Amino acid sequence: MENSAIIAAINTSIWDYGLIYLLIGSSLWFTIRGRFVQFRLFPLATRLLFHSRATGEDQSKGISTFQALCTSLASHVGTSNLAGVAIAISLGGPGAIFWMWIMALLGMATAFVENTMAQVFKTRNPDGSFRGGPAYYIEKALGQRWLGIIFSLCLISAFGFSFNAVQSNSVSAALHEAFSFSPELTGLGLVMIASLIIFRGVQGIARFAEKIVPFMAVAYVGAALIITAIHIEQLPDIALLVFRSAFGLEHAAAGGAGYLMSQAIAHGIRRGLFSNEAGMGSGPNLHAIATPYPNHPVTQGLVSMFSVFFDTIVICTSTAAIILVSGVSYSPDQTTGIVLTQNALAESMGIFGKPFIALITLLFGFTSIVANTYYGESSLRFIHNSEAAVRVYRLLVLGMVFWGAVGSLPLVWALADITMAVMAIINLGAILILSKYAFLLLEHFEQGIQRGTNPTFNSNDFPELKRLLDRDVWSSGAGDKQLSTNR
């Protein structure tokens, strides 16, 4: 059996017979246990997000909640939103989009839990900034440093190397399709510009993301809305197509409805996780380093739900709309990935379609590269906190970016799926155990809101948690202050 066939078999075993059920089950549990927190508190999460840009003196060494969200979105909103959605539709049919929506809505609760835990168990650096993520709460709360190291190695492999190669490959393909740029030129350009940002550290990455992410998201969603409005008469038929395909009804008369439904679910959930990363354990590495306002771990957990919603419900839906209203063929034996999205937009926008997608892909892919690099860096510091090791890691990342731009990466995509699955299994297992703390803190946070105060986390109120926390991270004497998030 060839290597590609072996990897495909492993992927099928992990995803179709294990991880899908773990993702659905844990997301449902977090949704029910949190009393549908993602729906109840979504308006509050939005208000907290837009009142968090001013960092204040106590955040001079960290980043704001808004910066953390933008940097997290910089990783989430990548070429997977353009290429990944096209692949999901090609392999799983339009119904895959329906299952991406379902997993996003449920995954918002998972994101709340993992990012709240990342805030609780974060570590302070010597310069006053923070770092954290699944590896840190696995070690501190569960006492399993070896498992944290395995998770970190998977994250470095997936995000620092595989996903960055995938991102640069999609950028290279898009620029070549639109402008006939050589892959070598694209790779060299990405390496040069990325090096100017990633060597400035997380604060430089956060400032870059804060400026670029809102612009690129608005531009892409705006184009999708215009195209959808032009073809608005097709929307009822497309909505019916998505629903029927999601449950294998589109070709039920010909038989195989169960298989078609399973393919829609499998590819929808897999690409959905690759896109919004809820439960994978990547986003917590960034949400851990924010200084939240109000100063409570739940603040960051709530805000993180917005990134899952925006990534899948808004951006991925925009890509699906562009493809489905265009009328282009999305058969798996024809063009797929980023070129399919380009062809669909060209069908609606004419000669401007391919250049527009190429430029958006460049922005999406580049922001993902710089954010993914930090994910790997944070994990490397967990294993061995050495500046020399970090510099070597950054150089290796730049090498992978160039290699991805000039190579063909079907094997890298498959390997990324495996490492992503291992990360998700480890992280989901950890947060299922630790979720009791997340919901205890949620109750405390909501009580403060109901009293009309800004809830503040006081470690003395939680003796069981206090013994697990770093003493220099969370104040043990601060009290609630008058609520000001409704200004």
What is the 3-state secondary structure of 398-456? HHHHHHHHHCCCHHHHHHHHHHHHHHHHHHHHHHHHHHHHHHHHHHHHHHHHHCCEECC
3-class DSSP state of 278: coil
SS (H, E, C) 326-367: HCCCCCCCCCCHHHHHHHHHHHHHHHHHHHHHHHHHHHHHHH
Whether the Cβ atoms of residue 74 and residue 360 lie closer than 8 Å to each other: no
Number of domains in the chain: 1
3-class DSSP state of 292: coil
Residue 485 covered by a domain: no
**pLDDT value, residue 68:** 65
| CA pair distance 420, 270, nearest whole angstrom | 10
**pLDDT value, residue 481:** 53
Residue 443 covered by a domain: yes
Residue 481 covered by a domain: no
Structure tokens at 326: 């265009």
Q: Which tens digits make up the pLDDT trace of 105-140? A: 998 999 999 999 999 998 887 777 788 899 999 999
**pLDDT value, residue 262:** 66
Residue 211 covered by a domain: yes
Residues counted in the chain: 487
**pLDDT value, residue 278:** 79
Structure tokens at 33: 């246990």
Low-confidence ranges of the chain (pLDDT < 70): 1-5, 7-8, 12, 15-17, 51-80, 82-83, 201-211, 213, 248-276, 331-338, 408-414, 475-487
3-class DSSP state of 252: helix
Bridge partner list, 296? none
- Structure-token match 């395995």, residue found: 150
| CA pair distance 10, 416, nearest whole angstrom | 12
Whether the Cβ atoms of residue 305 and residue 108 lie closer than 8 Å to each other: yes
**pLDDT value, residue 298:** 93
Whether the Cβ atoms of residue 356 and residue 192 lie closer than 8 Å to each other: no
| CA pair distance 414, 417, nearest whole angstrom | 5
3-class DSSP state of 289: coil
Using CB atoms within 10 A of its CB, is residue 152 exposed (0-12), middle (13-18) or buried (19+)? buried
Closest to 156 measured CA to CA, from 373, 400, 364: 373
Beta pairing, strands 123-124 & 453-454: unpaired
Residue 480 covered by a domain: no
- Residue 163 sits in which domain range? 3-473
φ/ψ of 376, rounded to 5, equals -65, -40
- What is the enclosing helix (H) or strand (E) of 294? none
Closest to 397 measured CA to CA, from 373, 417, 414, 380: 373
**pLDDT value, residue 249:** 62
3-class DSSP state of 44: helix
Residue 484 covered by a domain: no
Residue 54 covered by a domain: yes
Whether the Cβ atoms of residue 101 and residue 265 lie closer than 8 Å to each other: no
Bridge partner list, 18? none
3-class DSSP state of 119: helix
Residue 319's CATH number: 1.20.1740
3-class DSSP state of 482: strand
Using CB atoms within 10 A of its CB, is residue 421 exposed (0-12), middle (13-18) or buried (19+)? buried
Residue 170 covered by a domain: yes
- Dihedral angle sign, alpha carbons of residues 131, 443, 109, 318: negative
- What is the pTM assigned to this prediction? 0.83
